[in-house]
Amino acid sequence: MRRFFAPLDDALFERLFQPLTSLLTYRFGLRRRPLACLCIDAATIGWIVARAGGLSRVIAEGDGASAALRLVLLLLGIGALISLRSLFRRIGDRTANPLRVAMQPHRAVILLLLAARVLHPANGSLHEVADLAMLLFTWAALYLGACSEPPPVRRSASGLVGAEA
């Protein structure tokens, strides 16, 4: 699996996410960590929206066992996303990011889930669109969170980027 996924993973880093991180840092001053946390926050909202409809339906039907199971699943997903967000915050703004290697299996799983969702498109209901949004934002967060920080942008006293002081 790693022999197949590693080249794709490296290509996504080098061709998409590292240039995107560098561009957003250079143009807008947005660093990798806040971007990854923002994606996790959006994924959490998507997770809640995707699961709320089914939970409210089984509660309305009076199925206590299904409601409890769906509630546990909802809370488990929220807990996982919150712990991922706290991991990104703990890593900080290091240049050599240890998450690039450590989270490779996580990125492989999320790409498989995205591929499965794309190959079997949904009927367009709100909870299915929210589920797809949750997968996309989690995918982006896993890559953005594992990117290396670009070098700091030097600004002059006049506010011009790259100008000598």
140 located within any domain: yes
| Residue 106 domain-assigned (yes or no) | yes
Alpha helices in 13-103 (DSSP H): 18-28, 32-61, 64-91, 99-102
16 falls within a domain: no
Q: Confirm whether 153 is domain-assigned.
A: no
- Tens digits of per-residue pLDDT, 74-112? 999 999 999 989 888 887 665 567 788 888 999 999 999
What per-residue confidence (pLDDT) applies to 158? Answer: 58
More confident residue, 154 or 132: 132
CB 148 within 8 A of CB 97: yes
The parent domain of residue 39 ranges over: 2-10+22-146
Query: Residue for token digits 């022999």?
Result: 3
Is 94 within a domain?
A: yes
Task: Give 34: exposed, middle or buried? Use CB within 10 Å, 0-12, 13-18, 19+.
Answer: middle
Number of domains in the chain: 1
Token representation of residue 69: 């199971």
Is residue 152 included in any domain, yes or no?
A: no
User: Smallest Cα–Cα separation from 93: which of 25, 139, 159, 160?
Assistant: 25
User: Has residue 46 been placed in a domain?
Assistant: yes
Structural domain includes residue 35: yes
User: For residue 164, is pLDDT > 50?
Assistant: no
